Amino acid sequence: MDMDNQRHIVRPGITGWAQVNYPYGANIEDTKQKLMYDLYYIKHWSFWLDLKIVYKTAMVVLHKKGI
């Protein structure tokens, strides 16, 4: 299975590992970088990683860094 198809194994959600670790991207290099974060998530998924994503999402929202 190629990398792009692996990314579709995980259902989309409100937030994710790529969203809390990498700024919004507008070019192909940013897209590749976010893909690498998504593949990391697939390979290293755990309850604790999900908990870390929830925490980092809350910090982004509370500190208004997503604006």
Domain ranges of the chain: 26-67
- Residues with Cβ < 8 Å from 45, sequence gap 6 or more? 10
pTM over 0.75? The answer is: no
Residue 13 token pair: 């959600």
The confidence score (pLDDT) of residue 3 equals 61
Give the residue among 48, 43, 35 at the shortest CA–CA distance from 4: 35
Q: Give the contacts of 8 (CB within 8 A, at least 6 positions apart).
A: none
pLDDT tens across the length of the chain (67 residues): 666 676 667 666 778 898 888 887 788 888 889 889 988 998 999 999 999 999 999 998 888 776 5
- Give the pLDDT score at 50: 93
Q: Measuring CA to CA, how many Å separate 24 from each of 5, 52, 65?
A: 22, 19, 11
